[in-house]
Chains A and B, each alone.
Chain A
Amino acid sequence: MARVVVDVMPKPEILDPQGKAVTGALSRLGFSGISVRQGKRFELEVEGELTDSRLDDIRHAAETLLANTVIESFDVRVETAEVHG
């Protein structure tokens, strides 16, 4: 088993109301000078060997379902090539 992480973020030009709300809350709590954009992290446990074609499949899955590329960008990275149980 390998763990692949897909990070999805709103594109820079897209308004991020959630990030703005968090930014405001941090500021009210005294954490100044911090600007937040909020995205999503997906952890994928992948069965079998993580070949290049398997990774391509995962990129395709991310583009098809996990991210809406009209408004979001995504990044696929292998966190653990092999997880020993």
Chain B
Amino acid sequence: MAPRIGVVTFPGSLDDSDALRAVRRAGAEAVSLWHGSADLQDVDAVILPGGFSYGDYLRCGAISRFSPVMGEVVRAAGAGMPVLGICNGFQILCEAHLLPGALIRNDVRTFVCVDQDLRVETASTAWTADFTAGQEITIVLKNGEGGYVADEETLDRLEGEGRVVFRYRNGNPNGSRRDIAGISNERGNVVGLMPHPEHNVDPLTGPTTDGVPFFTSVLSFLAAKV
């Protein structure tokens, strides 16, 4: 049976449909999850999609973090379930303290929407196993608050433990510290990044299909676990 991968819809989520579609294209069963329900419907992995959950009120992700579904996501992540936070999903993971640091307004003070060059720094996560470390990819980036910040000690720890998963190449689009585009937790099951791999799974709608391995990686990870 194909693994079940859930995508949470919050009020204000925008990219949940694309994430569900990317999951299906990778060969998994896509399951819609609702922010107001604490039922994860026996999924094997969870994706928190991009958008502007709760209107980005207060801070991006600050209110979503306390939604009923997130209590379960935090618990499942602690038990090793793969969780991917894309853009707003990354912001939610940071607010929920599943990942360290925070995302602040872009230093360029404008919304940025580009095909962004990235380097995959590690393949040792549930969501990057089908890449090779050092691989260069291009994924669409679109956000207003994508500047990754953390204190120096945290940044050193992330680098030292190989938890910087993606770095911006050919220019830093938003002022992120140390060009960080994505990070993972200690176990590597929780990954957050600002770029949107779910938009890069179809040659019809993007310059690359570099997003596909994100979704096949988690299937490899889940298959290896069984």
Residue ranges of A at the interface with B (Cβ–Cβ < 8 Å): 10, 13-15, 17-18, 20-21, 65-66, 68, 70-71
B17 to chain A, nearest CB (A): 29
Task: Say if the beta carbon of B206 comes within 8 Å of chain A.
Answer: no
Residue ranges of B at the interface with A (Cβ–Cβ < 8 Å): 58-59, 62-63, 66, 94-95, 100-102, 104-107, 109, 147, 149-151, 175
Contact A21 B175 (CB under 8 A): no
Knowing A15-B147, A20-B109, A21-B109 are in contact, say whether A65-B104 is a contact too (CB < 8 A).
Answer: no
Knowing A68-B102, A70-B102, A71-B102 are in contact, say whether A15-B175 is a contact too (CB < 8 A).
Answer: yes
Pairs A–B under 8 Å by Cβ, sample size 23: A10-B104, A13-B151, A14-B104, A15-B104, A15-B107, A15-B147, A15-B175, A17-B104, A17-B107, A17-B175, A21-B109, A65-B62, A65-B63, A65-B66, A66-B58, A68-B59, A68-B62, A68-B95, A70-B100, A70-B101, A70-B102, A70-B149, A70-B150
Candidates A10, A17, A70; contact of B106 at CB < 8 Å: A17
CB-defined contacts of B150 to chain A, threshold 8 Å: 70
CB-defined contacts of A14 to chain B, threshold 8 Å: 104, 149
In the bound complex, CA of A14 to CA of B94 (Å): 16
Knowing A65-B62, A68-B59 are in contact, say whether A17-B95 is a contact too (CB < 8 A).
Answer: no
CB-defined contacts of A66 to chain B, threshold 8 Å: 58
In the bound complex, CA of A34 to CA of B80 (Å): 50
Contact B105 A18 (CB under 8 A): yes
In the bound complex, CA of A10 to CA of B100 (Å): 17
CB-defined contacts of B59 to chain A, threshold 8 Å: 68
Query: Which partner residue on chain A sits nearest B101 by CB separation?
Result: A70
A28 to chain B, nearest CB (A): 14
CB-defined contacts of B175 to chain A, threshold 8 Å: 15, 17
In the bound complex, CA of A13 to CA of B153 (Å): 14
Q: Which of A21, A66, A68 counts the most chain B CB atoms within 10 A?
A: A68
CB-defined contacts of B147 to chain A, threshold 8 Å: 15, 17
CB-defined contacts of B104 to chain A, threshold 8 Å: 10, 14-15, 17, 71
Across chains A and B, which 10 residue pairs bring their CB atoms closest together, nearest first? Answer: A17-B105, A70-B102, A71-B102, A17-B109, A21-B109, A68-B102, A68-B59, A15-B107, A17-B107, A14-B149
